[in-house]
């Protein structure tokens, strides 16, 4: 479920932003999922979130769902192919390792992790570079501004994931997830208003495909995906669960080609292999920081 659902969310986002502005799409998807999960989590856990919990959720939700998910939706709205988006986002575990090191008292990354970072940056530069000798670049290039936004979004996701380990949140992982879905989902709408997304938006122009994409993202990407992930974290070694970080891009590349008509070039495949190799090195490194936070939040699936 985690491999397939989270890998498929990239193509669902592409269909969604055809007629729905990116931040409004993220807000609607996460708010809907949060409102469904919240009463179920309250009933199951018996906990009631405090004001401090909601403040923490607002900060974490803003970083994860505006910076993280929002950057992905924005990049895809700018016609960045889903396969390239998924590969760039797949490098988040590398940023997680570095950001965890930079926090006070954080573990110093090993030479293996630093080597992986260098490898990952090489792969990203290969995707962004307009000219690569002896390699067909058709369909593999990405606008530098989109790569920058995805990079900043990845940092936001990593920062939100690390903060979630230290800020006060409900003990129940599902309840914690539901409140930052609600908080982060709500925060997307005023940001969308400020940047002008609502100016020319007409709800009557939303296509059936975009509407179904939002529903798919809420149900399969958020509700079922998060639930399956949380269950796995309690039953399976974290290193095995973390394999989604390099399986999701493979699913996204295949679905982008099969359903979205996206081309896959030699440069795309080489860059993907380099970036995902860096992720594998980080995830499998001894004593590497966990890729999930205390509330069961994944490392930036879309």
pLDDT tens digits along 165-187: 788 999 988 899 899 999 999 99
pLDDT for 129: 63
Say yes or no to pLDDT of 299 above 90: no
Averaged pLDDT for residues 84-93: 77
Among 85-99, 222-236, 267-281, 285-299, where is mean pLDDT lowest?
285-299
Q: Which of 14, 135, 94, 85 is CA-nearest to residue 253? A: 85
pLDDT for 3: 86
Q: How confident is the model at residue 192 (pLDDT cuts 50, 70, 90)?
A: very high
pLDDT for 109: 73
pLDDT for 2: 85
Q: How confident is the model at residue 130 (pLDDT cuts 50, 70, 90)?
A: low
Q: What is the pTM of this model?
A: 0.80
Averaged pLDDT for residues 11-32: 95
pLDDT for 196: 93
Averaged pLDDT for residues 191-217: 94
């Amino acid at each position: 479920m985690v491999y397939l659902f989270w890998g498929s969310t990239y193509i669902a986002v592409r269909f969604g932003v055809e007629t729905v502005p990116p931040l409004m799409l993220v807000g609607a998807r996460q708010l809907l999922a949060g409102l469904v999960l919240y009463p179920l989590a309250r009933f199951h856990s018996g906990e009631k979130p405090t004001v401090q919990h909601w403040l923490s959720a607002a900060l974490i939700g803003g970083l994860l769902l505006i910076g993280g998910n929002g950057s992905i939706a924005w990049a895809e709205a700018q016609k960045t192919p889903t396969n390239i988006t998924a590969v760039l986002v797949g490098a988040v575990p590398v940023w997680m390792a570095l950001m965890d090191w930079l926090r006070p008292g954080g573990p110093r990354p090993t030479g293996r992790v630093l080597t992986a970072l260098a490898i990952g940056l090489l792969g990203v530069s290969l995707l962004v570079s307009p000219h690569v000798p002896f390699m067909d670049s058709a369909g593999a290039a990405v606008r530098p501004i989109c790569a920058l936004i995805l990079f900043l979004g990845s940092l936001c996701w990593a920062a939100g994931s690390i903060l979630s380990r230290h800020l006060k949140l409900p003990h129940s992982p599902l309840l914690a997830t539901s409140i930052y879905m609600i908080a982060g989902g709500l925060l997307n709408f005023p940001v969308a208003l400020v940047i002008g997304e609502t100016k020319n938006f007409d709800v009557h122009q939303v296509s059936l495909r975009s509407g179904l994409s939002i529903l798919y993202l809420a149900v399969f990407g958020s509700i079922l995906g998060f639930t399956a992930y949380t269950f796995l974290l309690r039953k399976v070694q974290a290193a095995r669960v973390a394999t989604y970080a390099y399986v999701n891009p493979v699913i996204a590349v295949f679905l982008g080609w099969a359903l979205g008509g996206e081309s896959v070039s030699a440069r795309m495949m080489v860059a993907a292999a380099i970036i995902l190799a860096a992720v594998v090195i980080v995830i499998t490194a001894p004593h590497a920081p966990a890729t999930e936070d205390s509330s069961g939040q994944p490392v930036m699936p879309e």
